[in-house]
Amino acid sequence: MHGRVKERTPEEKQEAVRKEKERKLLGFTTLWKDIVDRRAEGDRSSETLMKTNQLLAKCSDLYTLWNYRREILLADLTDAESEEGKRDGILRIELSVTESCLALDFKSYSTWYHRKWTLEQMQKADWQRELDLTSQLFRLDARNFHCWNYRRFIVERGHIPLSSELAFSTKLIADDPSNYSAWHYRTTLIPLLFPTVPSPEHQTQIRTELALVVTAVNVKANDQGIWFYTQFLVEQIQKGGYTNLLDELKEEVKKLYEEGDLTAEESIAVLHGYVRLLLLDPIQNLKESDKKFVDDSIDKLCSLDPLRKGYYQSLRDAL
């Protein structure tokens, strides 16, 4: 019929895919062989460097190639020693190579290692740009530990102010209160930012953290990460001896438990959190009513969450 469109059949499509695969495989093996031969001959030309690019773009896990690259580069860098800026120019190309590899696979050990190595070789590295890169990659996977390690490396080497890192973690938490990596990052930052405890600055910060945690547990009551962070916060409060802050926290958790209209799952998390907060004080300081509350709560927890019965019973032993 006039103007009718003819489509390929599924078989034709499959055949085309198979041929394409074969062609790719052949290209890959030839190139690989060629590069291995060149290395054996001690070839350090920039042409060879380009060839490794082609393979790494397809598979960035080939650490042999990264090693070979570094061999070639080290030779180039010694040559470039004399000229101002030439060294960094060569290394900037390396950064763009690793960047395009990361775009395809951001969890390859060898790519991250190569990028770190490149930055260490540079005289003037653009640390801010590296930070932005990690921020972008966190959007793809907020718990990418390669990326977190790399970020810590950048912060250390680039002398990035830790306060801005704290703000970054706040932003990640606001985007997703369940981002445990971001909460954990805070536990490492706060002791570094406020080494003297107790101090007014430390106390102010802990107060801010308290507000953040209270919002977070209200929005996501059954998220474990937030409760872990609460434990860290309590340690900090105890270190500083800010008893009023601890009371505030208890008050908020109690309010959430009583008025929050919790689901069974949330009840377990909140009740457990509350019991642990009460048990932080020495037993002799606990009021009788609190003691009774803890006792009742543990019964309730045992019935709501029978799998962890033994653990809850051990909490009772403290009484």
Is residue 260 a contact point for another protein (CB under 8 A)? yes
Is residue 216 a contact point for another protein (CB under 8 A)? yes
Tokens, residue 170: 């706040």
Nearer to another protein, 12 or 34 (CB): 12
For the CB of residue 12, give the shortest distance to another protein in the complex, in Å: 8
Among 214, 268, 269, 301, binds another protein (CB under 8 A): 214
Among 41, 156, 259, 317, binds another protein (CB under 8 A): 259
**DSSP designation for 280:** T
- Length of the chain as a residue count: 319
Closest CA to 56 of 93, 13, 102, 90: 102
254 CB contacts (<8 Å, ≥6 apart)? 274
Is residue 5 a contact point for another protein (CB under 8 A)? yes
Among 188, 215, 222, 238, binds another protein (CB under 8 A): 215
- For residues 118-137, which are near another protein according to CB under 8 A? 132, 135-136
Among 106, 151, 177, 270, binds another protein (CB under 8 A): 177
| Calpha distance 177→69 (Å, rounded) | 41
Q: What is the DSSP code string of 73-94?
A: HHHHHHHHTTSTTHHHHHHHHH
- For residues 9-38, which are near another protein according to CB under 8 A? 13
271 CB contacts (<8 Å, ≥6 apart)? 257, 297, 300, 301, 304
Peptide linkage before 198 cis (omega within 30 of 0)? yes
Nearer to another protein, 1 or 307 (CB): 1
Nearer to another protein, 198 or 260 (CB): 260
Tokens, residue 309: 């019965």
Is residue 182 a contact point for another protein (CB under 8 A)? no
Closest CA to 174 of 237, 143, 216: 216
Residues 132-171 as x/- pattern, contact with another protein by CB under 8 A: x--xx--x---------------------------xx--x
Among 22, 34, 37, 175, binds another protein (CB under 8 A): 175
Q: What are the distances in angstroms from CA 149 to CA 18, 112, 123, 271?
A: 40, 10, 22, 35
Please report, as ranges, the residues that interact with another protein according to CB under 8 A: 1-8, 13, 132, 135-136, 139, 167-168, 171, 173-177, 214-221, 252, 255-256, 259-261
